[in-house]
Amino acid sequence: MATTSKDRPSPAAGLPVQTQDTAALLRELVAHLRQNRTQLREEWARRITRAQLLTAMTEAEIFAEATSVYDNYVEALETGTFEALQAYSRNLSERIIPRGVETHEVVGIVLLLRDVLARSLFAKYHEDFDKLNRILDAYEPAANRIANTVAVGFVQERERIIRQQQEAIRELSTPVLQVRERLLILPIIGVIDPQRARQLTEQLLRAIRTNRAKVVVIDITGVAAMDSNVANHLVQTVEASRLLGATVIVTGLSPEIAQTLVTIGVDLSEMATVGDLQGGIEEAERLLGYKVLPLEELAPKG
C-alpha cells in the first residue's frame, strides 16, 4: 500500500488505496446516496426499462431487484468490503439466469446505475468543480470495482451452470442398458476423452455390480476415431470388468479403426471383438447359454 507520502498519512480500512480524505468523501457520498435513495433508484429502474434491459422481468420485479442492488451497492461503497455484494450477485444470478437474462444486460444495468449516480453527483456539486473532482476520484474506483464484482459474479454463476449441464450431458451420453438377464450393452457415441473414458468405466463397473452382469457388449460403432489413448482406455475398461467377473465383447470396430489400431500397434489380444452389435449379442447369448429360436421351431409339431 502506498502510504509513505505526507498527504496520505494512514490507510483507512477497506479499499486498497484509501486515504482519510477519500474516506471522508466516500462517507459524504454514501450519505448523499442514502438521502436520495427513493428518487435515484426510481430513476435507475426507469432507465433500465427505457434501455429495454431485463425484458424477461416485470417492472415490479425490476424495481424490487433494483432496490436490493442499490442498497448493496451503497453498502459496498460505505464499508469497502465486497463479500456481501459478491454473495448477493451470485444469488441474483442464480435467480435470473434460468429466466434468460444475458451477460450484456447485467453489465448494462450496473453501468446504468453508475451513470445515474454520477449524474446525481454532477447535479449536486456542479457549482464546486474542485469538490466534484475529488468526489469522483473517490467514487470511480469503488464504482468500477463494484461493477466488476457484479459482472464477474454473474459470469461465474453462468459458467457453473454450464459445467453442471456438461456433466449432465456426459452422464446421459453413456447409458448402460440391460438387454437380457446378466447381459449389458454399452453403446459409445462420439468422442472419448480421458475424463469421459474414466466416467464410462466407473458407470459400467457400477452397472455390472448392480445388474450382476456376466457379459458386457461395448459397441463403438459411433466412435469416429481412435488413438492409442482411447484404445488403452478401452483395454483398461475390459480388464476392470473382468476383475468383477464380467466378460467384455467389443463390437463395431470400423475398418478405419481396425487399421489404425494395428498400425499403431495397440495390443488388443486380450479383447474379444465381434464385427457388429448383432454378432456381439449373439456371442454374448451363447456365453450365457441362451439360444434364440423362431416361434415355429418352438411350436409342437403336427
Partner 1 sequence: MEVPILKQGQYLIASIQSALTDADLSQLREALIERVGRFRARGVIVDVTALDVMDSFAVRTLRDIAHMARLRGAETVIVGIQPEVAFAMVQLGLTLKGVATALDLEEGLAFLDDVARERVERGQGPIDRGPGHRDRA
User: Judging by DSSP bridges, how do beta strands 183-189 and 272-274 pair with one another?
Assistant: unpaired
CB closer to partner 1, 54 vs 246: 246
CB closer to partner 1, 83 vs 267: 267
Span near partner 1 by CB under 8 A; candidates 56-64, 121-129, 201-209, 219-227: 201-209
CB closer to partner 1, 135 vs 216: 216
Report the site for partner 1 in 230-259 (rule: CB under 8 A). Answer: 236-237, 239-246
Distance CA 10, CA 16 (A): 11
With 0-12 CB in 10 A as exposed, 13-18 as middle and 19+ as buried, what is 130?
A: exposed
CB closer to partner 1, 140 vs 202: 202
The residues with which 184 forms a beta bridge, in sequence order, are 178, 216
Distance CA 287, CA 244 (A): 16
209 counts as binding partner 1 under rule CB under 8 A = yes
Measured from the CB of residue 202, what is the shortest distance to partner 1 in angstroms?
6
CB atoms within 10 A of CB 108: 18
Degrees, nearest 5: CA angle 123-110-136: 40
Q: For residue 110, which phi and psi values (nearest 5 degrees)?
A: -65, -40
Indicate the residue type of 237.
T
CB closer to partner 1, 207 vs 217: 207
Residue with cell string 434460468: 98
Distance CA 225, CA 246 (A): 26
Measured from the CB of residue 205, what is the shortest distance to partner 1 in angstroms?
3
Instruction: Count residues near partner 1 (CB under 8 A).
Output: 19
202 counts as binding partner 1 under rule CB under 8 A = yes
CB closer to partner 1, 41 vs 214: 214
208 counts as binding partner 1 under rule CB under 8 A = yes
- Alpha carbon separation from 243 to 47, 58, 92, 209 (Å, rounded): 66, 59, 49, 11
CB closer to partner 1, 159 vs 181: 181
Distance CA 115, CA 152 (A): 19
Interface map 46-85 toward partner 1 (x if CB under 8 A): ----------------------------------------
User: Judging by DSSP bridges, how do beta strands 183-189 and 177-180 pair with one another?
Assistant: antiparallel
Helix (H, G, I), strand (E, B), or coil: what is residue 250?
A: strand
Measured from the CB of residue 247, what is the shortest distance to partner 1 in angstroms?
11
Span near partner 1 by CB under 8 A; candidates 13-21, 43-51, 170-178, 203-211: 203-211
174 counts as binding partner 1 under rule CB under 8 A = no
Give residues in contact with partner 1 (CB under 8 A).
198, 201-202, 205-206, 208-209, 212, 214, 236-237, 239-246
